[in-house]
Structure 1
Amino acid sequence: MKVSGELRDFMARLGHDFAHPELLVRALTHGSVASPTRPDNQRLEFLGDRVLGLTIAEALFEADKSASEGQLAPRYNTLVRGETCAEIARELNLGAVLKLGRSEMMSGGRRKEALLADAMEAVLAAIYLDAGFETARRVILRLWTDRLNSVEEDARDAKTALQEWAQAQGMTPPTYAVTGRTGPDHAPEFQITVTLDDGRNAVATGKGTKRSIEQLAATELLKKLG
């Protein structure tokens, strides 16, 4: 199939020249523009999540041979979560080549965290189907390399620290609730309240994903706890 200059530029940023570019087109096709003859990227997203997961799990396993499962799990979660996939997608300017329906485009779909994360996973699956696991693995390790190198620090997040503190006090894990939301769908502002068993709580407000604001709320409560 004929490949546009825009897709050629994206392949260069991605670091993989597709032998079967129709796989990449499918990976970039959102459900809002899909049709019986133009399938969306959901099946590829499912596969890409597994390709990413195996690659990251293996990389972490090999990088720190003394780490326990309890140490590896939060590092793994940090690297494969939707926020990280969306960050990688933004670095590649993936949003510029997403194929969206008009309503999705008008609502800021090219910037939506979930759409970018899903498409990033679908692109990884497309590479896997186009050239095999080793090629997909090399692309992933190159794109994720900075995060792999800093993951031990990144994985020590406030939510984990707060949960560990609560458990040490004999409490159940803290609860997080959305107590306010403003702004458009593509750039929401959340108010999150985190509460402990004994009623102590903290509130944080900000733009971004709910998880990122939960981290801020956990940080605020940790400060209160000293």
Structure 2
Amino acid sequence: MTDVSHERATLVDKLGVDIDPELLSLALTHRSYAYEAGGIPHNERLEFLGDSVLGQAVTVRLFTVHPDLDEGELAKRRASVVSTVALAEVARGIGLGEYLLLGRGEQQTGGRDKDSILADTMEAVIGATYLSAGPDAATSLVLRLVEPLLQDPERYGAAMDPKTSLQELAARNSLSPPVYAIEAAGPDHDRVFTAAVTVGEFTAVGSGSSKKQAEMAAALTAWRELSARA
């Protein structure tokens, strides 16, 4: 077995579901790698499918388990679990970044740990699971991955509005208000933004495909770290 095959087998073990090797390889192929390899297929179609499977699985789970919640609260909880920041957290939990196929530019700019790339790849893996093992297996995978998020009620408010949550946390702890700094890298059609937020002497970093997304990712990381210290 080649090193690559061995690595993919390790990922399959972590996921706990049998995924067709070709589909798994496609799910891990970022468009930057596909472009440099001469225009081979990449994972965005699988990402599209996985996004739908993810949304349905989480929606049904919340609707079934929380008959007391109204539509607005259900929507808020779903958004907090299927957000880019949340999915990136799930992806880091299984070490997904080390398995990605990235172009040289993304490799050099830390693509293996970018929220947007990790979240999109996580959705693509869910899509590959759906095609390989069917809807029940894909739903089971989704629920296994997001269950820790669903069981953490404190994350709902912060995940929905991390910048406000961080500002409130700083005020409660008599810290200076959050200050954000933004950098951008990459071509115009594939721009990646990196935000650094500083609260007192603490700094956290986040990335995304827009300034807003990057700031939200940085704010949520800072909120979690500072909350754990409080």
Measured against the shorter chain, the TM-score band is 0.7 to 0.9
The structure with the larger Rg is 1
2:182 is paired with a residue of what secondary structure?
strand
Higher helix share: 2
Q: 2:12 corresponds to which letter in structure 1?
A: M
Q: 1:190 corresponds to which letter in structure 2?
A: A
Q: 2:181 corresponds to which letter in structure 1?
A: G
How far off is 1:214 after superposition? Answer: 5.3
Q: Indicate if the aligned counterparts of 1:28 and 1:41 stay in contact, CA closer than 8 A.
A: yes
Distance 1:29 1:217, change over 3 A: closer
Query: Which residue pairs with 2:61 in the alignment?
Result: 59
How far off is 1:103 after superposition? Answer: 2.0
Deviations 1:111-148 (A, max 9, x none): 11111110000000000011111000111111111111
Q: 1:210 corresponds to which letter in structure 2?
A: E
Distance 2:204 2:146 in 1: 26
Distance 2:86 2:110 in 1: 19
Q: Does 2:15 match 1:14?
A: yes
Residue segments in structure 2 that go unaligned for 5+ positions in a row: 166-178, 187-191, 207-213, 224-230
Residue segments in structure 1 that go unaligned for 5+ positions in a row: 164-177, 193-203, 219-226
Distance 1:140 1:124, change over 3 A: same
Q: Does 2:209 match 1:211?
A: no
Q: Indicate if the aligned counterparts of 1:11 and 1:17 stay in contact, CA closer than 8 A.
A: yes
Distance 1:48 1:14, change over 3 A: same
Query: Which residue pairs with 2:106 in the alignment?
Result: 104
How far off is 1:187 after superposition? Answer: 9.0
The number of aligned residues is: 191
Q: Indicate if the aligned counterparts of 1:190 and 1:210 stay in contact, CA closer than 8 A.
A: yes
How far off is 1:161 after superposition? Answer: 11
* TM-score calculated relative to the size of structure 2: 0.72
Distance 2:61 2:31 in 1: 32
How far off is 1:57 after superposition? Answer: 0.3
Distance 1:179 1:142, change over 3 A: closer
Deviations 1:35-94 (A, max 9, x none): 567300011111111100000000000011111011111100000001111111111111
1:156 is paired with a residue of what secondary structure?
helix
Distance 1:65 1:161, change over 3 A: farther
Query: Which residue pairs with 1:172 in the alignment?
Result: none
User: What percentage of aligned pairs have identical amino acids?
Assistant: 39
What RMSD, in angstroms, separates the aligned Cα atoms of the two structures?
Answer: 3.3
Distance 1:183 1:101 in 2: 18
Q: 2:13 corresponds to which letter in structure 1?
A: A
2:157 is paired with a residue of what secondary structure?
coil
Query: Which residue pairs with 1:92 in the alignment?
Result: 94
